[in-house]
Structure 1
Amino acid sequence: MKKIQWMLAVVLSSLIGLVHAIDLPGPVVTADWLSKNQSEVQIVEVRTDAASYLKTPEFDVDKKTGKKFLVEMGGHINNSSLLDFKKVRVERVVDGKKVKFLIPEKADFEKLIQSAGVNADKPIILVPVGQDMSDVDEALRTYWEFKVYGEDRVAVLDGGIAGWLNEGREFTTTNSQKADGNWVAKAYRKELIASSDEVAAASKTGKPQLLDARQPAQYWGVAKSPSVLTYGHIAGAKELAPELLAKPSNGALYFWSKNTYEALMAGNGLSNKAPTITYCNTGHLAAGGWFVMSELVGNKSTKLYDGSLHLWTLEGRPLVGVPLN
């Protein structure tokens, strides 16, 4: 009898925890929302420059308005954890070839997230630096990997830490790294990942549509990333440049409204309702296109081509672009 009572108590305790668990307002949260709900979530700051986490930020003062503004990144939100973006993507062997920049295997991703002190009991807020679309895409790539492994209680802070600091909110430079957490993957959503063969078929048929998330110079083939072997884009792809995906305001980047994204896509020849595959050089910037199309516009028939043109050109597949002299 005592054992049954104990089990009932555990079940009731779990149910009460679920009832009181906070609901995220969507895939993006504002600084106001986060400041009011800080104790109810887990804050994970995603950065390539890990040293900036403990560095004191530097500010200057606008002589006209007297307002402080950030000139050198540093510091972090109280009680946050640091996730080094360099560890979010890994080298794996695909068909006998070593391919960089891929999503980690399930066990490796769990270990990485647990090492950042993330637990299974609270929603996760990912915080980018927020000064450039490339660093915003670091958080969006991490968000996509969480989604692949079944985590739905995850969102991104609009404006990132740059917006937080420029608004004069509290920060710290004290190391607040935590003990290993107990977060575990809940699923493996293969439907969020596009293969090279799927991309090749899309290039020939136009279905799904291909969204190239790189800068125009790389799309047209007058420049290229060192991680890609040849110049140009995949035949049939439409471009949605990263600089279109967020608006600068007060020294930070913020997401546009759904209507703005729909208009930008239409202007670039992209349907906001058609099945879509996003790609870039390595699968980093592609996360921005995927996030906007899938999470902000609501087109859930959107996949990301992991490895992107790095993998595509390693496999000897063709690109098209303008003639080069």
Structure 2
Amino acid sequence: MFKMLSGVLALGLLAAVPAAPAAALDLPGPLVSSEWLAAHQDEVLVLDVRNDDTSYKEGGHLIGAVPLDFRKVRGTTTERGVEITDMNLPPEAFSALMRSAGVNDDTAVVLTHRGRGPDDAGYAAYVYWQLKYYGHDKVAILDGGTTKWVAENREVWGEDEAAQMGNFKARPARREFLADTAQMEALQTRKDAGILDARFFSFYVGLEKRPNIAKAGHIPGATLFPFDANFAANGTYRPKEELARAYAAVGLGPQQAVAAYCNTAHVSAISWFVMHELLGYRDVMLYDGSMLAWSKHGLPVETQLR
């Protein structure tokens, strides 16, 4: 059970938490702990990224956390004459969504997620990537998400949080954070580059595929590093030293250009976050089209383990 505030105390606390706080605060890094957030909750805007309509209320959420529906952060684009769904929003649409969530140009944003498992962490990681892609650097992720917060008996709330309209405007896109299909094809021929498949083993070797993926298997030359390997048993990210050793063990190092993909870039955003933000790899891209685009274009796949 989660701990709910009630009555006058809850109403008073909610009134004290601004929906869009002024943000002079410097975030300590790309990840923040629950202890840090508890001490600075009124200085940041918390966005709770989920892909359902009910758990935000029924399971409780951080006081003041504004819900962000993951289904709204993605749109449809056309690549090589083919319509691809589940893609990053264009700047105007993303700006409007962030404004509606209360984000200002100078807001310090902390992203949380339901925290049931590594898959949920992908929702926060993808929005983190979007904010960075559109030039908003004052963003961090709550390590362990809302589940860890609740497990520590911290206070949560079960009603909607209203956001004040923000003034966020996307800055020029950081194209170096994004790979398209042509770039993925080019990476296959480079000896100084790596391609990371963030899915589970069964997807990599073609035993399983999502219904929206045209072909089972993986992009030729891709290295398998499942997204859940980035997390400890309690749902927090593994220590940087462990992550660095693990990525080096599969041949993906900071000296390489690396592009990460999965089925629709949702969980491979975790891989991008770990390599670029936590480990400091300089040249890391997210293949936003991922296997959805690759297979729709009829490009070759492999099923053998490298």
TM-score with structure 2 length normalisation?
Answer: 0.89
Determine whether 1:221 maps to 2:203: no
CA–CA separation in structure 1 for the residues paired with 2:124 and 2:30: 12
Q: Which of 51, 57, 61 is the aligned partner of 2:54?
A: 51
Q: Which of 287, 291, 299 is the aligned partner of 1:309?
A: 291
After superposition, the C-alpha distances for 1:167-208 in whole angstroms (9 at most, x for unaligned) are: 000111122121322111122111111111111121233442
Q: What are the within-5 Å matches in structure 2 for residues 115-154 of structure 1?
A: 115-154=100-139
* Equivalent residue number for residue 255 of structure 1: 237
Q: Which runs of 4+ in 1 moved over 4 A?
A: none
After superposition, the C-alpha distances for 1:253-283 in whole angstroms (9 at most, x for unaligned) are: 1011111011111222322431111111111
Paired residue secondary structure (1:178):
coil
After superposition, the C-alpha distances for 1:265-314 in whole angstroms (9 at most, x for unaligned) are: 12223224311111111111110111111011110210001111100111
After superposition, the C-alpha distances for 1:222-279 in whole angstroms (9 at most, x for unaligned) are: 1112221111111111111112011122xxx101111101111122232243111111
Q: 1:206 to 1:133 in 2, by over 3 A?
A: farther
* Equivalent residue number for residue 194 of structure 1: 179
Letter of the aligned partner of 2:72 in structure 1?
K
After superposition, the C-alpha distances for 1:61-106 in whole angstroms (9 at most, x for unaligned) are: xxxxxxxxxxxxx111111100000111111222322100110000
Determine whether 1:276 maps to 2:258: yes
CA–CA separation in structure 2 for the residues paired with 1:122 and 1:100: 29
1:125–1:154 Cα contact (<8 Å) kept: yes
CA–CA separation in structure 2 for the residues paired with 1:146 and 1:121: 12
* Equivalent residue number for residue 41 of structure 2: 38
Q: Which of 14, 22, 25 is the aligned partner of 2:25?
A: 22
CA–CA separation in structure 1 for the residues paired with 2:71 and 2:191: 34
1:206–1:236 Cα contact (<8 Å) kept: no
* Equivalent residue number for residue 70 of structure 1: none
After superposition, the C-alpha distances for 1:20-46 in whole angstroms (9 at most, x for unaligned) are: 811111000000100101111110000
Q: Which of 276, 297, 301 is the aligned partner of 1:294?
A: 276
Paired residue secondary structure (1:37):
helix
1:212–1:240 Cα contact (<8 Å) kept: yes
Q: Specify which structure has the bigger relative contact order, considering alpha-carbon pairs within 8 angstroms and separated by 6 or more residues.
A: 2
CA–CA separation in structure 1 for the residues paired with 2:254 and 2:242: 12
1:44–1:82 Cα contact (<8 Å) kept: yes
Paired residue secondary structure (1:197):
helix
CA–CA separation in structure 2 for the residues paired with 1:30 and 1:104: 29
CA–CA separation in structure 1 for the residues paired with 2:106 and 2:187: 40
TM-score with structure 1 length normalisation?
Answer: 0.84
Q: In the TM superposition, what is the alpha-carbon distance from 1:141 to its structure 2 partner?
A: 0.4
CA–CA separation in structure 2 for the residues paired with 1:205 and 1:220: 23
1:159–1:254 Cα contact (<8 Å) kept: yes
CA–CA separation in structure 2 for the residues paired with 1:184 and 1:32: 31
Determine whether 1:237 maps to 2:237: no
Q: Report the structure number with the largest CA radius of gyration.
A: 1
Q: What are the within-5 Å matches in structure 2 for residues 91-170 of structure 1?
A: 91-170=76-155
Aligned length: 285
Letter of the aligned partner of 2:161 in structure 1?
S
CA–CA separation in structure 2 for the residues paired with 1:268 and 1:130: 27
Paired residue secondary structure (1:254):
coil
CA–CA separation in structure 1 for the residues paired with 2:191 and 2:295: 20
Letter of the aligned partner of 2:168 in structure 1?
W
| Structure 2: unaligned runs, 5 residues or longer | 1-20
1:214–1:280 Cα contact (<8 Å) kept: yes
